[in-house]
Amino acid sequence: MYRFSLMVCLLAAASGAVAQTIGPVAPAAPVDLASLPAVIQSPVIPTAGVIQGPTVVLPAPVVLPPAPIVLPPIVQTPATPVIISPPVVLPPVLPVQGPTGVVYPMVPSYPGRLGVALVDHQPEGARVVRVWLDSPAARLRDLATGQLCRLDPGDVILAADGIQVQSAAHLAQLIQKAGDRMVLTVRDCWTGRIAHLLAELPQSRITIRIPIPPVESRKIFPALQVAQVRRRAEQARQIRGPLVGEGWIPSPTDPMDLVAVFGTLKVREPYRLVAHVLDWGGGWSGRVVAVPSDAKWPASDPARGIPANVPGLVEDPMEVIQGDGSAWSYLEASILQRELREFGAEWHGRSWSTHTILGANPLRVPGAKTIPPHSDEHHEDFGKGQLPWPGDEGWRWFEPAMNDPAAQWDPVVYISPNLIRVVFYTYSPLGQEGIYRHEDVYRPGHYRPVSTTMTQIAEGPRYMVF
């Protein structure tokens, strides 16, 4: 329901104190192993060529009682263009020198407790500019409809647990003080609709320790080649035939046909994918899960679209995807996971469908060396094929280096012994039109990404909703 974008909101609690500001993270200080008590010197799994430091156990954060949920009336006003403040630039993830070798820092799966980056919205509220897709912000529930949804870049958070949000820093404080649940009052950037969304907040930030090697190789793929695969995938996931029934119903389109588009990937035995779709009036939504091949056709959950009472069910279908280990297979996995997330989506249910994969800066190269997504009856509304053009005015760059003629725009897969990164760029006219960088991080041999981010690197003058 909602889309993603730029910036980082750093929220932290340490030893009972609530952080009051949002700012860059300082590089980690050297770790003196001799000074650490034995109780916190936990071993880590050794990695060839890398000496890792100890895993330090931080004290549990202080859990304050949740504020009462009081939803004050919110005056719905039309969404207006927002001037985004200069982005917060995180320092590069660098190794530090320890007494016994190089110690690589931990890489967070998402920042803070909500997993969003925010800037101030005028006259009040906090505007979302970046969303981590593996965070609580991507797993919200609409209290009015019971639908699962997510925040998108451009959404404006007006209140939290009934408390009116004054600024991004104010919202950061409210989130840090909240209990394990918080109700966010959000203005949808697509429609201007006000919604009350329930967020399940962890009590501490989840981090994953990944050794970052000093050198990594890379393989560049033509954007046109990736866009052609993406177009075939989009066609394969379209719902064929009318929806018959109320609520979530089995999809008439088989999601296994979508996986078959990707030549290096397949569903691991003994699983198969099943899909359910919902016509909710303003559009369609879909949900794909994995079940054992011998399972009976499962019934859907009326509220979530996930089949109920199926032993061995896997909610994230990327958990059962396996590939041939090539660099191309991880790039295909990045496209597949987005197509699975958009499976069965129509009209207001679409987000990824509005993105065009780029092979060049569209403000410098006509056509950006790519093809648009598959056209349909909503061609004009989605703005498909209407990329920015050289000389198009009114664009602002949050990462000016990408506007340099020498910038690399084609999709890239970075490979190292312990880590694989997929990076590619897209344009979308949805909400405030923008250019985005997508980055997925994988562990070798696994096709469910450790983290998935979408960062806005440029913003255009036009605004589109449907």
Answering whether pTM is above 0.75, one says no
Domain with CATH 2.30.42.10 in the chain: 13-29+45-208
User: pLDDT digits over 289-315, tens only?
Assistant: 898 988 876 566 666 666 667 788 888
pLDDT, greater one: 359 or 31 = 359
Mean pLDDT of the chain: 74
Compute the average pLDDT of residues 205-219. 57
Q: For residue range 278-289, what is the model confidence (pLDDT) as tens digits?
A: 876 766 778 898
Virtual CA dihedral for 424, 403, 416, 314, nearest 10 degrees? -30
Local confidence band at 64 (pLDDT 50, 70, 90 cut-offs): very low
Q: Given this model, what pLDDT does residue 215 score? A: 63
Q: What are 427's strand-pairing partners?
A: 356, 435
* Pairing, β 420-428 against β 356-357: antiparallel
Q: Pick 13-29+45-208's CATH classification: 3.40.50.1100, 2.30.30.30, 3.30.460.10, 2.30.42.10.
A: 2.30.42.10
CA angle 324, 329, 335 (to 5 degrees): 145
Q: Which residue has the higher pLDDT, 434 or 63?
A: 434
Which residue, among 289, 301, 433, 278, has the nearest Cα to 347 in the 3D structure? 278
More confident residue, 310 or 219: 219
Lowest-confidence range among 271-280, 341-350, 423-432, 435-444? 341-350
